[in-house]
């Protein structure tokens, strides 16, 4: 009599990539991910608590309410400044009121940061020609996503799906937005999915979903510079910033890193070769 408890069974997906889940700012639009970073700095300044750009960027990729909370939780100096200014510790009610203010501030500046990152349209065209569903996930709230989609509609970027934290029970680094993309695209297993993101939180979400992960360096939040700023910088400094971003993304667990979305097709070809050889993420 066979004892099936003594056996284990597995199968390996060897097909191609079928779904790519793209982030938003710093990945497909807004070179340097400037729109949210600048608003977080201005938001805390409006409460009499100045924060650095580094502090504003550190939680990038999270739902924006969670992002505000993380700035408090991760920075003793910010908490001390709040205590000094307001005579008390920060509270969850502060996060709620600041999130309401943040949304108003963010919507006002989206129009200043809606340029498509060079190479994005061409990369998406290549993906569609190769039967890849173009999904998306972002830490932005629903009103911002809808406004952004309208702004870029005439510029040639139209993902098949774009989800935000409002669409799922919990934002990144939870994997639910990626899983929802998979469900709506009808794509499984997770090894057929690539998550592309410029934030550490986004890479973590991709890993939590069991997908391949590709981190953006030059165009993303970890370098944090506009194209114009980079064009005026010392080339050695640019290389240092990109190298630092690459190290951070790889340490977070990214399978690959690329300067920008323009380089994505080559990575997908490599992933397809890996999958065909039986390699899993």
The candidate with the shortest Cα–Cα distance to 40, out of 101, 82, 81, is 101
For position 80, which CATH number holds?
1.10.150.240
Does residue 99 form part of some domain? yes
Q: Per the structure block, which two tokens stand in for 120?
A: 């994005």
Of 91, 112, 133, the residue that ends a domain is 112
Angle made by CA atoms 74, 203, 249, in degrees to the nearest 5 = 80
Residue numbers of the domain that contains 255: 19-35+114-276
Judge contact between 162 and 145, C-beta under 8 A: yes
CA 84 distance to own-chain centroid: 34
Total domains present in the chain: 2
Of 71, 92, 112, the residue that ends a domain is 112
Q: Could you tell me if 239 and 219 lie in one domain?
A: yes
Of 71, 86, 112, the residue that ends a domain is 112
Output the pLDDT for position 5: 78
Q: Per the structure block, which two tokens stand in for 191?
A: 């090894």
Judge contact between 78 and 55, C-beta under 8 A: yes
Q: Could you tell me if 88 and 199 lie in one domain?
A: no
Q: Could you tell me if 40 and 166 lie in one domain?
A: no
Output the pLDDT for position 2: 62
Q: Which DSSP symbol is given to 29?
A: B
DSSP string of 176-221, one letter each residue: HHHHHHHHHHT--SGGGEEEEESSHHHHHHHHHHT-EEEEE-TTST
Task: For the chain, 281 residues long, give each residue's pLDDT as a single digit of tens.
Answer: 567 778 788 899 999 999 999 999 999 999 999 999 999 999 999 999 999 999 999 999 999 999 999 999 999 999 999 999 999 999 999 999 999 999 999 999 999 999 999 999 999 999 999 999 999 999 999 999 999 999 998 899 999 999 999 999 999 999 999 999 999 999 999 999 999 999 999 999 999 999 999 999 999 999 999 999 999 999 999 999 999 999 999 999 999 999 999 999 999 999 999 999 999 99
Q: Could you tell me if 41 and 90 lie in one domain?
A: yes
Q: Could you tell me if 108 and 120 lie in one domain?
A: no
Task: Give kind and range of the element (H or E) at residue 164.
Answer: strand 163-164
Output the pLDDT for position 146: 96
Q: Which residues are catalytic?
A: 23, 64
Judge contact between 172 and 188, C-beta under 8 A: no
Judge contact between 212 and 281, C-beta under 8 A: yes
Q: Distance between CA atoms of 115 and 127, rounded to whole angstroms? A: 20
Strands 193-197 vs 163-164: parallel, antiparallel or unpaired: unpaired
Does residue 76 form part of some domain? yes
For position 133, which CATH number holds?
3.40.50.1000
Does residue 185 form part of some domain? yes
> Residue-wise over 118-137: b if at least 16 C-beta within 10 A, else e?
ebbbebbeebeeeebbbbbb
Does residue 86 form part of some domain? yes
pTM of the predicted structure, to 2 decimals: 0.94
Q: Distance between CA atoms of 48 and 85, rounded to whole angstroms? A: 7
- Backbone dihedral angles phi then psi of residue 52, each to the nearest 5 degrees: -85, 165
């Amino acid at each position: 009599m066979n004892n099936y408890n003594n056996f284990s069974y597995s199968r390996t997906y060897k097909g191609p990539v079928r779904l790519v889940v793209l982030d938003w700012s710093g990945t497909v639009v807004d070179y340097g991910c400037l729109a949210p970073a600048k608003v977080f700095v201005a938001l805390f300044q409006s409460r009499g608590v100045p924060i650095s750009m580094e502090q504003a960027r550190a939680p990038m990729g999270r739902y924006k309410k969670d992002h505000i909370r993380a700035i408090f939780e991760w920075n003793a100096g910010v908490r001390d400044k709040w205590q000094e200014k307001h005579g008390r510790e920060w509270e969850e009610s502060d996060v709620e009121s600041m999130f309401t203010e943040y949304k108003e501030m963010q919507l006002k500046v989206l129009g200043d940061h809606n340029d498509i990152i060079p190479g994005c349209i061409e990369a998406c065209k290549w993906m569609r020609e190769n039967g890849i569903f173009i999904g998306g996930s972002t830490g932005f709230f629903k009103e911002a996503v809808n406004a952004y989609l309208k702004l870029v509609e005439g510029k040639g970027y139209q993902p098949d799906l774009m989800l935000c934290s409002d669409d799922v029970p919990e934002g990144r680094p939870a994997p639910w937005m990626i899983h929802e993309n998979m469900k709506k695209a009808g794509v499984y297993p997770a090894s057929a999915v690539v998550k592309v993101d410029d934030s550490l939180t986004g890479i973590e979400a991709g890993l939590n979903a069991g997908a391949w992960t590709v981190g953006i360096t030059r165009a993303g939040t970890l370098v944090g510079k506009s194209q114009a700023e980079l064009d005026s910088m010392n080339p050695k400094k640019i290389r240092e910033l990109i190298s630092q971003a690459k190290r951070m993304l790889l340490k977070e667990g990214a399978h690959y890193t690329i300067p920008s979305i323009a380089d994505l097709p080559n990575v997908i070809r490599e992933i397809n070769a890996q999958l065909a050889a039986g390699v899993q993420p």
